[in-house]
Structure 1
Amino acid sequence: MLQVESVFQNVNGKPILDQVSFHVKKGSCFGIIGPNGSGKTTLLKSISGYYRPVSGTIRFQGKEVHEFSRKKLAQKMAVLSQESLPNYPITVFDTVLMGRYPHLKWYQREGKKDLEKVDEILELTSLTHLREQTLDTLSGGERQRVAIAKAMAQEPELLLLDEPTTYLDIGHQISLLKLVKTWQNESGLTVIMVLHDLNLASQFCDQLLLLHQGKVVKIGSSKEVIKKDMLEKVYETIPEIIPHPKTDVPQVILGI
């Protein structure tokens, strides 16, 4: 699905990523973790085609990302940033409908199938009751759910999430990630997400990539990556690692 090979990246002349390489399998959930300033968001923007690597390659479905037209890429890849949607007076329905635009020809209006698709997604995401409400009247958690619905309307094969749970309370965090997981399981979607919360990353991602100062420290399962000595070195703190009582995946408790 996605191959990142020896990517070196500068932003405004400053080195951010240094020889980053990894592969993501179709239908998997791949998590990117690491402290602030480690290059997580830059890596995601490089995958999305927003940045072009100084050197190295990023191939999506066997083709370099920058070789896709923006419209064609938007038909295959959706991006959700941590800022979610702007606080504009646009209805929920019209916002989600925007996700259909990459599939329309120039000057083509939305058809019956597009409108029905949006209604179907609003039902799936439990947003039907907010259909005619505007974004500026919604809570942060509701706007983030609308952002996911808009991405679903794109019908992408790859979803990129940049800290999607930022600013959300724990209930909305779990609800949002469960929604993405259900979508993934039902459609074969591939997900790459940047997460600050190591416990959520451990629970929802099939594989994790730990970044530090733009370099790959470790790639593997949560049990291979969420380790006391590794986290102590990268995050400069002393964590305690315990198994989750239900799933057995590692969970982090911070010492005082």
Structure 2
Amino acid sequence: MSSRVAAAISAAKAEGRGAFVGYLPIGYPDLDASVEAAVALAEAGADILELGPPYSDPVMDGLVIQEATQAALAAGFRLGDTFTALRAITARVDVPVLVMTYWNPVMQYGVDRFADDLLAAGGAGLITPDITPDAAADWIAASERTGLDRVFLAAPTSTDERLAMIAEASTGFVYTVSTMGITGERAELDAAARGLVARLRAHGVEHACVGIGISTPEQVAGVLDYADGAIVGTALVRALRDGGIAGLTETAEALAAGTAPAAK
């Protein structure tokens, strides 16, 4: 089955630019507002949406995202709300929507049931930050059955053996972690990301998108010198928190402008 996520990256490439992947938490500031925010992000130029169901133990998330997800949980978010939000978003925008989720909620919900409900809601696949391909047999089987994309993470510390496994198991793109540690903005991106993308290319990865620490149009442009997409989260969540939909739109449009060669 063809990957809608890979197709979106290829479409951006055909326009002579890299892809802009934008992250927002589902349910923040509330469920309806998070739908409006996701739609606004797509309309402002995101090629792929990455939406995160709030989780009680977000080990990889920085403070801004943690605060947003904790607020959503406190307001009563439940995992099933993920699919309610996705149905509303995918009815209004054409960009592929990936769900970025820790693995425990998927296990609790049921891997096949989660995959089926994700597909029915119009979702394109999962980004799974805390499970590796060798521990993901159930998810790999479910994604092959449903045609959903499975995006695994690669880190600068990953061995060549691990990168080969990630390259083989991932579809859509490989989520290339720019730095070790939690998400958040950094003044300068780690040069390790460039080396990691080169290593992934050597293992046959066609699409590598870099995330963690990207917060400005200039950083987007810098990453797209060597990667196929730039993933931004914290800067967008902060813009939504501080400026509502208007602030989010302004920030997203600026970041999207960084994908064009003229921005370099």
TM-score range normalised by the length of the shorter chain: 0.3 to 0.5
TM-score (norm 2): 0.37
TM-score (norm 1): 0.38
Structure with greater proportional helix content: 2
Larger Rg: 1
Structure with greater proportional strand content: 1
